[in-house]
Structure 1
Amino acid sequence: MNFDRTQRVSQDGDWRITANPLAWGDTNAEVVVLGFSKGPTQAGELATTPHDQIAYKGGRVAVGKILAHVGLIDGGDNGRLRTAVDRLIADPDGRFHFGSLIRCTVERRDGTTWKGTGSGMLDGFVADPFGREVATNCARRFLANLPASTRLVVMFGMGTKGNYIRQARALIQQARPGRWRTVNEVAYADEKITFVHVEHFASQGNLLPRWLGEGGHDRGRLGLRAREAVTAALAPRPISVSAA
């Protein structure tokens, strides 16, 4: 594999991945934060970009707002949020690990060009046979055997009408066979780890402000459900005491 150069295109020519797997933070973290894939604006430049500047490039304020909204970091102004996310990503011994569900860059053909963003990108890829194969391989490799210290996985993106939540859950359950339960409409869990879907940090228009609760929009309910699931996942666990 030639890092950030090797590519694979789907048989129908509609999807393309670029091989550039990366991750940040602590490999034994309590909280794993996953985007969908690295943005296409970074593809072809990663080998020369400082490692800690790559993750969520251009979107770290939004990432900070989301993590603060669900109670994982303190709130603050944009500068404070950006600085907080910068530090978390660069900390190899912290509470967080950062990566993406699809470790390669994902792009979809749009006429004669390739685009890595747009409506239906997340759920469209994992619903496509090529994308499902790639996503299944990634889930098996990176999510099947998470560290014992990991209690929560935060996943950016919900998809159109929750399609990405359903597709991601199916992939993860296949990679992690066991007893699963629905926490609420944005979260699910097995016996060890809770997976919580939040708004995507690069969501267009007013989706993120509404998810954050601005304007009293119904989408804010999903943000509250995410916060509830995060709180429950990280609550102190009862100590099992065997009878004498």
Structure 2
Amino acid sequence: MNFDRTQRLSQDGDWRIRANPLAWGNPNAEVVVLGFSKGPTQAGKLATTPHDQIAYKGGRLSAGKILAHVGLIEGGDDRHLRTSVDRLIADPAGRFHFGSLIRCTVERWDGEEWKGTGGAMLDGFVATQFGREVASNCASRFLAELPAATRLVVMFGMGTKGNYIRQARTLIQQARPGRWRTVNEVAYADDTVTFVHVEHFASQGSLIPDWLGENGNRREHLGIRAREAVNAALAPRPISATAA
């Protein structure tokens, strides 16, 4: 594999992936934060970009607002939030691990050029046979056996009408066979780990402010449900009778 250069095309030529798997933070973290894939602000420049500057490049302020909204980091002004995310990504012994569901860069041909962002990008990719194969391979490799310390996986993105939530759940359940339950509209869990979907840090227009509850929009309900699921996942676990 030639890092960040080796590519694979879907059979119809509409999708491609570029081999550049990366991750940041603590590999034995309590909280894993996953984007969908490395976007166009990152792909193609990885060999010359300092490692800790790659993750969520151009979206760290929004990522900070989202993580603060669900109670995972302390809130504050824009500078504080951006600096907090910078520090967490660079910390190899902290509470967080950062990566993406699809470890390679995903791009779609729009008829004129390859694009790594846009409407229905997340659910559109995993709805294709090519996308399901790639996503299934990534889920099996990186999510099937999470560290014992991991209690929560935060997934950036919900998809159109929740399609990405449903499709990601199917892939993750296949990679992690066992007992699963629905926590609420944006979260699901097995016996050890809760997966919570939040607004994507690269969402456009009013989507992030709506989700944050800044506009009195019904989308804020999804942000509230995400915060509730995060709180429940990280709440102290009761001591079992056999351990007492």
Classify the TM-score, shorter chain: over 0.9
Q: Where do 1:35-46 residues align within 5 Å? A: 35-46=35-46
Alpha-carbon distance, 1:117 to partner: 0.5
Does the aligned pair in 2 maintain the 1:40–1:106 contact within 8 Å? Answer: no
Instruction: Give 5+ residue unaligned stretches, structure 1.
Output: none
**Residue 158 (structure 2) aligns with:** 158
Aligned length: 244
Alpha-carbon distance, 1:112 to partner: 2.5
* 2:171 counterpart SS class: helix
TM-score normalized with structure 1 length: 0.99
CA distance in 1, matches of 2:49, 2:87: 17
1:86 and 2:125 aligned: no
User: Per-residue CA shift, 1:57-112, capped at 9, x if unaligned?
Assistant: 01000000000000000000000000000000000000000000000000000113
**Paired AA for residue 111 in structure 1:** G
Does the aligned pair in 2 maintain the 1:36–1:157 contact within 8 Å? Answer: yes
User: Per-residue CA shift, 1:23-74, capped at 9, x if unaligned?
Assistant: 0000000000000000123222101100000000010000000000000000
**Paired AA for residue 120 in structure 1:** A
**Residue 145 (structure 2) aligns with:** 145
**Residue 49 (structure 2) aligns with:** 49
**Paired AA for residue 61 in structure 1:** L
**Residue 59 (structure 1) aligns with:** 59
CA distance in 2, matches of 1:127, 1:191: 27
Does the aligned pair in 1 maintain the 2:29–2:94 contact within 8 Å? Answer: yes
CA distance in 2, matches of 1:196, 1:234: 12
**Paired AA for residue 76 in structure 1:** G
**Paired AA for residue 239 in structure 1:** I
CA distance in 1, matches of 2:162, 2:135: 17
**Paired AA for residue 174 in structure 1:** Q
CA distance in 2, matches of 1:243, 1:24: 35
CA distance in 1, matches of 2:39, 2:164: 18
Does the aligned pair in 1 maintain the 2:26–2:94 contact within 8 Å? Answer: yes
Does the aligned pair in 1 maintain the 2:154–2:196 contact within 8 Å? Answer: yes
TM-score normalized with structure 2 length: 0.99
Alpha-carbon distance, 1:243 to partner: 9.1
Does the aligned pair in 1 maintain the 2:70–2:227 contact within 8 Å? Answer: yes
* 2:155 counterpart SS class: strand
* 1:216 counterpart SS class: coil
1:197 and 2:218 aligned: no
**Residue 223 (structure 2) aligns with:** 223
1:99 and 2:102 aligned: no
* 1:125 counterpart SS class: helix
CA RMSD of aligned residues (A): 1.0
1:12 and 2:12 aligned: yes
Instruction: Give 5+ residue unaligned stretches, structure 2.
Output: none
Alpha-carbon distance, 1:200 to partner: 0.2
CA distance in 1, matches of 2:17, 2:243: 55
CA distance in 1, matches of 2:57, 2:92: 18
CA distance in 2, matches of 1:97, 1:42: 18
**Residue 167 (structure 2) aligns with:** 167
User: Per-residue CA shift, 1:193-214, capped at 9, x if unaligned?
Assistant: 0000000000010000000001
**Residue 112 (structure 2) aligns with:** 112
Does the aligned pair in 1 maintain the 2:41–2:58 contact within 8 Å? Answer: no
Relative to structure 1, is the Cα distance of residues 243 and 56 closer, same or farther in structure 2, using a 3 angstrom cutoff? closer
Percentage of matched positions with identical amino acids: 83
Does the aligned pair in 2 maintain the 1:89–1:97 contact within 8 Å? Answer: yes
